[in-house]
Structure 1
């Protein structure tokens, strides 16, 4: 059986995108958003209201003019979720516009939030990862230096939320991290199967934990302006950002980097992503741009990279056109910005600065 022909058959028979706002059945934006959001929660198998328990501030340290709170809270399952809340040291009681900064996948699960934040000691393997992915910067930390309160949290399967088997190791830290990252693919496969037995899925569990993180952030009105919250991320972080924006209208602005394509081009090209991309039964109801558009009419930035090997260029172009048409139908074309870069799958300094400037303008309005 030819793979491409097989996927073409599936796309032809079953990719209906019934809940796309571009469909003739939909005209009232608010009504559609309610229906689409409910269906998305159903597909993600988010059955419970997100909540956090027993929050604590476990450590505070200062680096380069930024105060970093290491916070944690308990979820209904697993250990405590850990996060960094970063803000300018000299804020003097001022409530700041806030950004939820969402880490990527990258096959690097030993760490989550540390991939985008500054920590007191960074193993060389983490430094090298930041060079490859982020131009050597801890972009969430850099955003905090610009006057934002930035919240970077571990999500399901990463960092403090990772799942481990066996005993500890006496190897050096770089070797321990490398060994775990290499085994984490198998762990993710196993967890996906286990979740399916109970009617859940990996991406839905990730999103549930991100929604709980959002609730924690809203509880921190001592630091943040709850009327000015954005979400941003690259790769898996970008997907997490668009899903949070789709599920909660309290988020004012969404910035997505290297996480957008139409589904058909990803599937037809045989590009194998982690379980964190796939939503059971999604194509019957939504294409990926349709899911992102539930955030409408609020502002969205999507950064596309023409040399991206895991989000095909043709799919990126089609997604950009679709998002433009969706925002146009919603009467909010001015609130969508898509930027194309001649770059591979990366979130380098140029892209970061473009995103930072856009977020600053968006939250200032």
Structure 2
């Protein structure tokens, strides 16, 4: 019996390293990334508590919170390109039904002198309300402002490209022209990398990453440059005699929607905003199945470090209590519906807290990633309600 006990003890003793080795092999995975996501992405998301969001922040006075939260946003977007006098010049004009289309150039910053389309009503008496029209991403870089305003004085290829895009995304409508025909001054510029602000050698999908990285190497970030250019667009409109500076709105679809609520959050010179098909939460977007985890198209909409302070709807809430409209599609594969609903709930909580929920419109449409004529009509009605005298 004694010998048997000794044998069993020795067997147990010598078998321990084997069991430990087996257990150790199960303590970690032989890889750290799955479908472009760190395998610990769920744990990472759990650390995002958004301490600067309205309701989470220790600042309980809304105006003081708004000032502090906006400072946080700018600290993540900065530095801003230095400003310069606009020095606008008109290159070409075209008379359209109820308005004049102008191809202009202006200094959007001290760094860049850029082309743009400016549409000015010629019916009725100004100054008029105005809308900054912000183009989408669409992985379509050859055109930018031409997605919002029907181009003129361009090659047949560019016009055909723009016409096709209007059909594909905007229900055959140039939304900028649609608003100009209804009495709005419209401005549309190319975001850096699109249209006439593209790459000399020609743009492609992969070079987005190089541009974003090179900007970061020089202390800037792509989304910051785009946002500050959009802010200067508002400043430019406010400087025009044809524009009522107290009635400027902003409108965009897809990436243009992201630009629209970012712009509305960043400056109070925007009095109303509409964002079509871009609103969600980080929790819903950052998953193994959503297209966001592929990177690529997200580069132009990344604000370094902002998720450590605020989620997407928290940033958009900086626009409160001004009138804002958010539309999304129930069949939009880019933005999970549950995330849209959560974001809308968060937005309404903020507007409700300021007794301004009657100025916030959120709606889920039974459709895909698309800006239909019916959606355009409701958006126009929204701006008419809040920007027209």
TM-score (normalised: structure 2): 0.84
Q: Is the 8 A contact 2:234 2:269 kept in 1?
A: no
Q: Is the 8 A contact 2:234 2:248 kept in 1?
A: no
Q: Partners of 2:383 and 2:236 in 1: how far apart? A: 21
Q: Partners of 1:262 and 1:49 in 2: how far apart? A: 32
Using the TM superposition, give the Cα deviation of residue 70 of structure 1 relative to its aligned residue in structure 2, in angstroms. 1.3
Q: Could you say if the C-alpha distance between residues 219 and 8 of structure 1 is closer, same or farther in structure 2, counting changes exceeding 3 Å?
A: same
Q: Partners of 1:76 and 1:301 in 2: how far apart? A: 29
Match among 239, 244, 267 for residue 219 of structure 1: 239
Q: Where does residue 320 of structure 2 map in the other structure?
A: 296
Q: Could you say if the C-alpha distance between residues 164 and 187 of structure 1 is closer, same or farther in structure 2, counting changes exceeding 3 Å?
A: farther
Q: Partners of 1:78 and 1:50 in 2: how far apart? A: 8
Q: Where does residue 176 of structure 1 map in the other structure?
A: none
Q: Where does residue 311 of structure 1 map in the other structure?
A: 335
Q: Where does residue 55 of structure 1 map in the other structure?
A: 88
Q: Where does residue 55 of structure 2 map in the other structure?
A: 22
TM-score (normalised: structure 1): 0.90
Q: Could you say if the C-alpha distance between residues 198 and 316 of structure 1 is closer, same or farther in structure 2, counting changes exceeding 3 Å?
A: same
Q: Partners of 1:4 and 1:352 in 2: how far apart? A: 39
1:320 maps to 2:314: no
User: What residue ranges of structure 1 are gaps of 5+ in the alignment?
Assistant: 166-179
Q: Partners of 1:253 and 1:51 in 2: how far apart? A: 26
In the TM superposition, what are the counterparts of 1:122-201 in structure 2 within 5 Å? Answer: 123-165=159-201, 180=202, 183-201=203-221
Q: Where does residue 266 of structure 2 map in the other structure?
A: 247
Q: Partners of 1:24 and 1:206 in 2: how far apart? A: 28
Q: Partners of 2:326 and 2:303 in 1: how far apart? A: 21
Q: Is the 8 A contact 2:83 2:110 kept in 1?
A: no
Q: Partners of 1:232 and 1:363 in 2: how far apart? A: 13
Match among 110, 113, 126 for residue 94 of structure 1: 126
User: How many equivalent residue pairs?
Assistant: 346
Which structure: larger Rg? 2
Q: Is the 8 A contact 1:51 1:212 kept in 2?
A: no
Q: Where does residue 147 of structure 2 map in the other structure?
A: 115
Q: Where does residue 36 of structure 1 map in the other structure?
A: 69
Q: Partners of 1:64 and 1:33 in 2: how far apart? A: 42
Using the TM superposition, give the Cα deviation of residue 202 of structure 1 relative to its aligned residue in structure 2, in angstroms. 1.0
Using the TM superposition, give the Cα deviation of residue 88 of structure 1 relative to its aligned residue in structure 2, in angstroms. 2.2
Q: Is the 8 A contact 1:134 1:347 kept in 2?
A: yes
Q: Secondary structure of 1:54's partner? A: coil
Q: Is the 8 A contact 2:141 2:195 kept in 1?
A: yes
Q: Is the 8 A contact 2:81 2:225 kept in 1?
A: no
Q: Secondary structure of 2:206's partner? A: helix
Structure number with greater CO (CA < 8 Å, separation at least 6) is: 1
Q: Secondary structure of 2:334's partner? A: coil
Q: Partners of 1:359 and 1:96 in 2: how far apart? A: 13
Q: Is the 8 A contact 2:109 2:229 kept in 1?
A: no
Q: Where does residue 103 of structure 1 map in the other structure?
A: 135
Q: Secondary structure of 2:95's partner? A: strand
Using the TM superposition, give the Cα deviation of residue 152 of structure 1 relative to its aligned residue in structure 2, in angstroms. 1.2
Q: Where does residue 377 of structure 2 map in the other structure?
A: 353
Using the TM superposition, give the Cα deviation of residue 332 of structure 1 relative to its aligned residue in structure 2, in angstroms. 1.4
Q: Secondary structure of 1:292's partner? A: helix
Using the TM superposition, give the Cα deviation of residue 52 of structure 1 relative to its aligned residue in structure 2, in angstroms. 4.5
Q: Secondary structure of 2:88's partner? A: strand
RMSD between superposed Cα atoms in Å: 1.8
Q: Is the 8 A contact 1:79 1:161 kept in 2?
A: no
**Residues 182-231 of structure 1: per-residue CA shift (max 9 Å, x gap):** x42222111111111122211111111111222211111x2111111111
